[in-house]
Amino acid sequence: MMRLQDILSPFYVWKRAFEKPFSIAVLSAPRPGSPTYRGFHQNDIDKCIGCGTCAEICQNVSIDMVPVKEAQDGDSGLRPRIDYGRCCWCALCVDICPTGSLTMSNAYTWVEEGLDRDVRETYCYTPGADPQPWDDEALGYRKPEGYELLHLERVPMPHLAPGERLNSFVEMVKGYSHELAVQEADRCIQCGICTATCPAHMNIPAYIKAIREDKIAEGLKILYETNPLPGVCGRICTRRCEDVCALSHRGEAISIRWLKRYLTDCASAEDYKALLESEIKPLDRKIAIIGAGPGGLSAAYYLAGMGYAVEIFEQNAAAGGMLRYGIPEYRLPYTKLDQDVAQIAALGVKFNYNACIGRDLSFDDLYNRFDAVFVSVGMFEPYRIGIPGDDNAKVISGLQLLSDVTNGVPVDLGRRVVVVGGGNVAMDAARTAKRLGCEVTVLYRRREVDMPADVEEIEEAREESVNFIFQAIPLEIKTADDGSLSFDWGKAEMVQQKPGERPQPILIEGSRENIAADTIIAAIGQGVNYLWMDGEASAKIELKKFRVQADRWGRTADTKIFIGGDMFNPTADAITAIADGHRSARAIDKMLNPPREN
Amino acid sequence: MENLYPPIVDGKSVYDLDSQKYLKMWQGPQHPGVTGNMSLELDISGDQVVKCKAHVGYLHRGFEKLMERRRYINCFPIVCRICVPEPDTNEYLFAAAMEDLLGLDIPERAKWLRTLNLELSRLASFVMWLGGQSGAFGMGTVAQWCLAHRDYVLDLFEEWTGARIYHMYMTPGGVRGGLPEGWDAHAEKVLDGIYKLLDEIRHVMFNNAIFKQRAKGLGVITPDMFDRFGIVGPNVRGSGSTRDIRKDTPYLIYDQLDFEAVTEQGGDVYARAKVRWREVYQSIDLIRQILKNMPRKGPLHITLPNVLHLKVPAGETYVRAESTRGEYGYYMVSDGSEYPRKVTVRGPSYTHAMALLEHLAVGVNTADVAGLMVSLHTYPPEIER
Amino acid sequence: MQELLDNLKELYALNGITLRNPSLAWAEVTPERLVGLLTQLRDAHGFTHLVLMTCVDWLEDGRFQVTYLLHNYTTRQDLGLHVYVGRTASELPSIHTLWEQGRVYQQELHEMFGIYFPGSPGLGEPMILESWDGPPPMRRDFDTRVYSEETYSHRQRTHHEPEQHMKDRLYPED
Amino acid sequence: MSDIEQKDKPATQPEWVKDERTLTNSALPSEEQDWFCDARPRRVEKHWQVLENFMNWARAHSLWILAFGTGCGAIEMRPLVTARYDISRLGMQMRPTPRQASVFVIGGYVSLKTLKRIVRSYEQMQGPKFVVAVCSCAINGGMYWDSYNTIKRIDEYIPVDVYVTGCMPRPEAVLAGFNLLKKLIREGKAEGQNLYADKFDWYKANQKQVIKDWNMPDYNW
């Protein structure tokens, strides 16, 4: 049934003829994309660290990492190059970028003529490195505030409460449970930036992956490939890897050290045993190692693994060196150290204790009896404060205190203790004294930010109510009438002497203050004891500024003598010593070049 | 079964297709009268279609295969490509299936924003469909209006999500960001424009004698066909049914919105057009309700475990949502690894454009095949994925 | 739902019944009893809507899992039926007589997985793929990436892995 | 571009008839012989320069687009040809048949099944004809880089005059592509058609390499 209205109704459209047209004037000037438009990429090339997470998450394989800068610690030198023949503008790369350097502009027009050329090359560029018209575009997609694909916050590590830990030397860090460890390992983006920074170049992404997948035995094996003291390093490593962690740029680094500790803690005896199962062909070569510190133990482990007959000569009654005698038990329980040492001993390494070269044995003898000698005697000679009165019997060194506690020697520090120094030994000494029931004050020449000790250690020392006095220069130690000590110090100001260098503390004229103490602990650094360089064999070795000269493989002027550890490397920490040991082991192997089958 | 193919009498087809009396005509894939890149193989007698066979596969990319080798987070940008005019349903369903398997609950505000996104996307799709339906019956004017107004909706999307077509806004775990400043006012303006447009469409299209003549009685879907052909969405609502997933099994915050399923009697092209036309009104109303009641503060996203190695617990699930074409569903199977074992997409066009269209096209005038096909609202990419 | 499944369990030897949520359940049925069960569910229990039919390839177990998902519009419940079938010479009864779209699903499964549904119209005709000469592409043992790289030309990647690159640059000899 | 090796063929056959799958006129019954064109495409030689310039100017202002939505890129063509962007202002419009069209817009990814239709449609278009490839998928595979059913680079199969990247490219970006095309046409540089004629064997070999059931004439004119 057709109605007249149905015929007339469409003419309604005519009224539109008088309305403003929809058409926009796009023909002359295209509209800009909206302020959050996902257009072509921009990259802040200085902020970018080349971690490759963008390439990892790109499902279209449109991002290649290409070298743009020189590689350095914490920066691979690679930068993302994006192929716009693949990109789908999903912005997952922007969302996940750990540094936040990658963004998108709101530019969207890119046309190319196509005949007789491979446009795949023209539609590729490295944002930030190859100039593009939209490089300075302020608008465009940025990761929305609060929207995060990464987990920037670290899984907190359970600690003993400060009150609890003051009473004993029980290890204060409790360690991750399985859940926490997996949760922490899950944060890792597996970029591998940390591997280069680790002195031992441990394969950190691989063992974190093993934790995530709960493959403990495999993880332990990965650890032992580059580090024979993982249980120790999992506790006291200086963890420079965490400083460069890609996540540390906008959040907190992965707790790489605690994860390593988790691996060693939950590995079973079988897992450890399984590591020893590979058959070692014994070689007819003997190596002597002086010093059973981390460097010596590491060299021993790898040399023994290659088949050498290894003997270690250690001046103390137990292995570990500074790990045992310089680090208090609440940070590194001796049982853990013993476990790692036992694993090395299980390879057939022979330990000679209480054998000090230069005192009990002569270096020449070793030199003649063995095919090569690796020296890592460490730094056990504490420096003196160098002020009047520092020869007082109540002025002891931090190292002295720590090794006495280790050896179970009873120590009487009195009530008030002043610790001089700002390094880790100073912190250890202060906190050990605290555990012995003393009131402890730490005096340091510079500001808190300048302290070489770990931030966490300082923080924990504070929690244990250790007092700090900064910018304090020791002046004199006097003995008071009641037998206690009176320690004079002066206030210092920080002066920038040369641009670019760190400021020096300069004593403010006439400033002089006083603090009373029963014991003063000097922890201002240690030096090397050169007692072992007594005979003819070591004559070739050069010393410069009290340091033995060697190349990065620990090779000295004498082809049979290799050195490593604190006495050699400038950073003087356990992981570097372990790396030295490993490197020297390979250098010794190369030097001796023993005949091997196949 | 008896209506699917040419009528059979005494064991022989009434139309002897081998007799060469019938013309074989291809409509598509390169033809203005098909929706997207698919084709119909028509046998015609005079002006009448006696047999229709739908050919699909011109847009097959193997999504289900590609998803097997992409991490869950990496599937999220590709699923929206399954349906170009209304990609958000895919995003939502993929995220919902994943969240179901992971046992996650997303923040309240994200639910509202997702609903807003879905509803806006339905609006854009319906408006474009109205243009397509009128265009298929030769009314280019309405098509011009509708496409322009859809573009205003795309502007809203661009301002909000950063892209016009593929918004990639509903990430697993929530949404990417909130509404920008001043968006509501902009949206209200656009909605107002569409509201006015709808009235004009009523004048020009639904009251148009030509449209009425051609669309009424064309392609009738009867209730007995619903389940036999698996018909869903506006196609059943045009035949008097009230099936609407948003109402029947509410997801997101649809249960907090006030609306009724749109339904029309008749079951022909005209009734289906009317349903969709009224659904635009409904969508406008729902968007206004959402904007009015939506929480403006609160978290938008829960943080998933590291998406680079996110493992989804083993299991299988099916989630559904009401798209403009009806029931859209995702069937996801996880074997506990970092990659989905299987994601099957149930696109409503799958049944509409194949079995149903082949059935309805028989006996239809050749010139009306385009209009009939558009009226079923099919999008080829979701058929073959 | 549980009640319904309990009732059917005996009759159709249902296995592996899992209730994902109150309105979605999965159950396993043998190929022989499939059509009977589907017919009963459709006609007697209100599961009138065939939502989808799909196949999951469990390559490790050497079998296909064909899923039939049914929906009940009255009770708003979904019931998914799993049918396991071997990966070679796989054959399942056709359900095109129960639902028209079953034909389309079966055609697709035949093309994508190589499952045979005797009697299903148009089964042998190519539906989505044209001129395909490889194995059915949705099977898990078909590697689409390798196929794509062999068949089509790709851009050569110049990608460097950061970890390896830093090793080459910073400590090559370690 | 790397050239595909030419296969050895008997000298009697035209060299571009690659295999027995190709339909040729001689193989057909006599009444059907005029179905196909047996000739290969020819270069179109330039006219006298002034006339050529005029022709190019005229061509650039009358670009008719083939209404073939080959992939998702088609979705942005609709706004482009309707009221909002209204490219009829530029003398462009959609045409439903290849015979009337001069611009082929490849909208993104191209599946094998579509590629066959694209080749046929392209060859049926009358010269001068141009191809605009939009979306990143047409450049290097886009997000379907590992799909078994989509080709990765359209320029291996038909010559492309202008590329527009994006996913989706906005209508304005596509418009910029058309503007570049017009510029190229005016400068006489949009020579895709001649390239196709020159490298016909190479294109054919590429097409036949992926289209396994080649059952049509080599050149569908």
Q: What is the 3-state secondary structure (H, E, C) of B275-333?
A: HHHHHHHHHHHHHHHHHHHCCCCCCCECCCCCHHHCCCCCEEEEEEEEECCEEEEEEEE
- Chains C and D form CB pairs within 8 A to the count of 49
Stretch (H or E) spanning A374: strand A372-375
Neighbours of chain B (3+ CB pairs under 8 A): A, C, D
Enumerate the residues of chain C whose CB falls inside 8 A of the CB of residue A576. Answer: none
Enumerate the residues of chain B whose CB falls inside 8 A of the CB of residue A40. Answer: none
Interface of C to A at Cβ within 8 Å reads: 155, 157-167, 169-171, 174
Which chain A residue's Cα is nearest to B155?
A: A34
Enumerate the residues of chain A whose CB falls inside 8 A of the CB of residue C164. Answer: 192
Neighbours of chain A (3+ CB pairs under 8 A): B, C, D
> pLDDT tens, A155-191?
888 887 777 777 777 777 778 888 888 888 888 888 8
Residue A424 neighbours by CB distance under 10 Å: 22
Enumerate the residues of chain B whose CB falls inside 8 A of the CB of residue C130. Answer: 57
Q: Which domain holds residue C83?
A: 2-153
Confidence of residue D4 (pLDDT cuts 50, 70, 90): very low
Q: Is the peptide bond before D168 cis (omega within 30 degrees of 0)?
A: yes
Q: Is the pLDDT of residue B7 over 70?
A: no
In 3D, which of B158, B61, A26 has the Cα closest to residue C144? B61
Separation of first and last alpha carbons in chain B: 27
Residue B6 pLDDT: 53
> pLDDT tens, B332-356?
999 888 899 999 998 888 888 888 8
Q: Is the pLDDT of residue B68 over 50?
A: yes
DSSP 8-class letter at A484: -
The residues, any chain, with a CB within 8 Å of residue B211's CB and separated by 6 or more, are B134, B137, B139, B205, B270
Q: Is the pLDDT of residue A386 over 50?
A: yes
Residue D9 pLDDT: 37
A564, amino acid identity: G
Residue A163 pLDDT: 74
Enumerate the residues of chain A whose CB falls inside 8 A of the CB of residue D85. Answer: 23-24, 26
What is the rounded CA–CA span in Å between residue B303 and residue B289?
29
Please check whether residue D1 touches C, CB under 8 A. no
Find the CB nearest B64 among C49, C80, C138.
Answer: C138
In 3D, which of B75, B275, B277, D160 has the Cα closest to residue A120? D160
Which chain B residue's Cα is nearest to C59?
A: B341
CB within 8 Å: A92 and B180? no
Enumerate the residues of chain B whose CB falls inside 8 A of the CB of residue A212. Answer: 309
B8-17: average pLDDT: 61
What is the rounded CA–CA span in Å between residue D188 and residue B47?
46
Please check whether residue D143 touches C, CB under 8 A. no
Residue C123 pLDDT: 81
Q: What is the mean pLDDT of chain A?
A: 84
Domains annotated for chain A, with CATH where assigned, are: 162-275 (1.10.1060.10), 286-379+528-592 (3.50.50.60), 385-526 (3.50.50.60)
Q: Looking at the 3D structure of chain C, how many domains does it have?
A: 1
Confidence of residue B20 (pLDDT cuts 50, 70, 90): low
Angle CA A169–A172–A175, to nearest 5: 135
Find the CB nearest C162 among A72, A76, A120.
Answer: A76
Please check whether residue B62 touches D, CB under 8 A. yes
A296, amino acid identity: G
Query: Taking a C-beta distance cutoff of 8 angstroms, is the pair D89, D130 a contact?
Result: no
CA diameter of chain B: 71
Residue B15 pLDDT: 62
DSSP 8-class letter at D149: S
> pLDDT tens, A47-63?
899 888 999 899 888 89
Confidence of residue B319 (pLDDT cuts 50, 70, 90): very high
Residue B11 pLDDT: 59
Of residues D160 and B35, the one with the higher pLDDT is D160
CB within 8 Å: D145 and A27? no
Please check whether residue C134 touches D, CB under 8 A. yes
What is the rounded CA–CA span in Å between residue B238 and residue B352?
14
Q: Is the pLDDT of residue D37 over 80?
A: no
Please check whether residue B165 touches C, CB under 8 A. no
Enumerate the residues of chain C whose CB falls inside 8 A of the CB of residue A70. Answer: 169
Long-range contacts formed by A567-574: CB under 8 A, 24+ apart = A567/A375, A567/A376, A567/A377, A567/A378, A567/A379, A567/A528, A568/A295, A568/A376, A571/A199, A571/A238, A572/A379, A573/A237, A573/A238, A574/A229, A574/A232, A574/A233, A574/A236, A574/A237, A574/A238, A574/A294, A574/A322, A574/A323
Strand partners, A562: A374, A555
> pLDDT tens, A218-258?
888 888 888 888 888 888 888 888 888 888 888 888 888 88
DSSP 8-class letter at B30: S
* Test mutation, C81, C101, C139, C143, chain B, max B CBs within 10 A: C101
Enumerate the residues of chain C whose CB falls inside 8 A of the CB of residue D112. Answer: 129-132
Which of A 60-89 lie inside 8 A of C, CB atoms?
A: 61, 64-67, 70-72, 76-78, 81, 83, 85-86
* Test mutation, B68, B303, B337, B338, chain A, max A CBs within 10 A: B303
Does residue C15 lie in a domain region? Answer: yes
How close, in Å, is residue D172 to chain A by CA atoms? 6
Q: Is the pLDDT of residue B122 over 70?
A: yes
Residue B333 pLDDT: 92
Neighbours of chain D (3+ CB pairs under 8 A): A, B, C
Does residue C64 lie in a domain region? Answer: yes
Residue D73 pLDDT: 79
The residues, any chain, with a CB within 8 Å of residue A251's CB and separated by 6 or more, are A150, A151, A152, A153, A154
> pLDDT tens, B281-306?
999 999 999 999 988 888 888 888 88
Enumerate the residues of chain B whose CB falls inside 8 A of the CB of residue C145. Answer: 69
C-alpha count within 13 angstroms, C-beta hemisphere, residue A450 = 14
Enumerate the residues of chain D whose CB falls inside 8 A of the CB of residue C151. Answer: 148, 209-210
CB within 8 Å: D148 and B77? no
In 3D, which of D125, D123, D149 has the Cα closest to residue D216? D123
What is the rounded CA–CA span in Å between residue A263 and residue A224?
11
* Angle of helix B183-201 versus helix B140-161 axis, rounded to 10: 170
Of residues A501 and A108, the one with the higher pLDDT is A108
Which chain A residue's Cα is nearest to B142?
A: A13
Domains annotated for chain D, with CATH where assigned, are: 1-41+64-221 (3.40.50.12280)
Residues in chain A: 598
How close, in Å, is residue B144 to chain A by CA atoms? 9
Find the CB nearest B66 among D66, D147, D170.
Answer: D147
In 3D, which of B224, B218, B172, B253 has the Cα closest to residue B365? B218
How close, in Å, is residue A118 to chain C by CA atoms? 10
The residues, any chain, with a CB within 8 Å of residue A81's CB and separated by 6 or more, are A63, A64, A65, A66, A124, A125, A126, C158
Q: Is the pLDDT of residue C143 over 50?
A: yes
C123-151: average pLDDT: 84
What is the rounded CA–CA span in Å between residue A596 and residue A282?
10
CB within 8 Å: C153 and D153? yes
Query: Taking a C-beta distance cutoff of 8 angstroms, is the pair D141, D159 a contact?
Result: no
User: By CB neighbour count within 10 A (0-12 exposed, 13-18 middle, 19+ buried), where does B279 fall?
Assistant: buried
Please check whether residue D147 touches A, CB under 8 A. no
> pLDDT tens, C83-96?
998 888 888 888 88
A350-377: average pLDDT: 84
What is the rounded CA–CA span in Å between residue B382 and residue B379?
6
Strand partners, A124: A83
CB within 8 Å: A10 and B70? no
Q: What is the mean pLDDT of chain D?
A: 80
> pLDDT tens, A316-359?
888 888 888 888 888 888 888 888 888 888 888 888 888 888 77
What is the rounded CA–CA span in Å between residue A578 and residue A199?
8
Residue D18 pLDDT: 52
Local structure of A568: helix, strand or coil: coil
Please check whether residue B339 touches C, CB under 8 A. no
Q: Is the pLDDT of residue B32 over 80?
A: no
D80, amino acid identity: L
> pLDDT tens, A188-216?
888 888 888 888 888 889 989 998 888 88
Confidence of residue B115 (pLDDT cuts 50, 70, 90): very high
C81, amino acid identity: L
DSSP 8-class letter at B66: H
Residue B4 pLDDT: 42
**CATH number of C139's domain:** 3.30.460.80
Residue B38 pLDDT: 84
What is the rounded CA–CA span in Å between residue A509 and residue A492?
9
What is the rounded CA–CA span in Å between residue A486 and residue A495?
28
CB within 8 Å: D96 and B144? no
Which chain B residue's Cα is nearest to D114?
A: B58
Q: What percent of the residues of chain B are helix, what percent strand, and what percent coil, each to the nearest 5?
A: 50, 15, 40
In the sheet that holds C63-72, the strands lie side by side as C15-21, C24-28, C77-86, C63-72, C49-58
Q: Is the pLDDT of residue B112 over 60?
A: yes
Enumerate the residues of chain D whose CB falls inside 8 A of the CB of residue B61. Answer: 109, 111, 144, 147, 149-150
CB within 8 Å: B57 and D75? no
Does residue C147 lie in a domain region? Answer: yes
Residue D13 pLDDT: 44
> pLDDT tens, B185-216?
999 999 998 998 898 888 888 888 888 888 88
Residue B94 pLDDT: 92
A69, amino acid identity: K
Find the CB nearest D84 among B29, B65, B148.
Answer: B148
**ipTM of predicted assembly, 2 dp:** 0.84
Question: DSSP readout, A89-141?
Answer: ---HHHHH-SSS-EEE-S----EEE-TTS-HHHHTEE-TTTS--TTTT---S-
User: By CB neighbour count within 10 A (0-12 exposed, 13-18 middle, 19+ buried), where does A466 fall?
Assistant: buried
Residue B281 pLDDT: 92
CATH 1.10.3720.10 fits B75-347, yes or no: no
* Range with the poorest average pLDDT among A41-45, B45-49, C108-112, D95-99: B45-49
b/e code A173-212 from CB counts within 10 Å (16+ = b): bebbeeebbbbbbbbbbbbbbbbbbbbbbbbbbbbbbbbb
CB within 8 Å: D147 and B65? yes
Q: Is the peptide bond before B29 cis (omega within 30 degrees of 0)?
A: yes
Confidence of residue B10 (pLDDT cuts 50, 70, 90): low
Angle CA B314–B316–B320, to nearest 5: 145
Confidence of residue A1 (pLDDT cuts 50, 70, 90): low
Confidence of residue A598 (pLDDT cuts 50, 70, 90): low
Find the CB nearest D139 among A26, A33, A119.
Answer: A119
Task: Kindly compute the dihedral angle of the four CA atoms of residues A402, A403, A409, A410, in this order, to the nearest 10 degrees.
Answer: -10
What is the rounded CA–CA span in Å between residue B150 and residue C131?
38
Which chain A residue's Cα is nearest to B159?
A: A34
How close, in Å, is residue A568 to chain C by CA atoms? 18
Residue A78 neighbours by CB distance under 10 Å: 27
Q: Is the peptide bond before D128 cis (omega within 30 degrees of 0)?
A: yes
Distances (CA, A) of D129 to B356, D98, D161: 39, 10, 10
Residue A132 pLDDT: 86
Q: What is the mean pLDDT of chain C?
A: 85
Range list for CATH 1.10.645.10 in chain B: 75-347
Query: Taking a C-beta distance cutoff of 8 angstroms, is the pair B282, B135 a contact?
Result: no
Of residues B46 and A580, the one with the higher pLDDT is A580
A525-540: average pLDDT: 77
3-state secondary structure B225-245: HHHHHCCCCHHHHCCCCCCCH
What is the rounded CA–CA span in Å between residue A229 and residue A224?
8
Q: Is the pLDDT of residue A562 over 80?
A: yes
How close, in Å, is residue A368 to chain C by CA atoms? 30
How close, in Å, is residue C128 to chain D by CA atoms? 8
Strands (E), chain B: 8-9, 12-13, 23-27, 39-45, 48-55, 315-323, 326-334, 340-346
CB within 8 Å: C148 and D146? yes
Which of B 349-368 lie inside 8 A of C, CB atoms?
A: 350-351, 354-356, 359
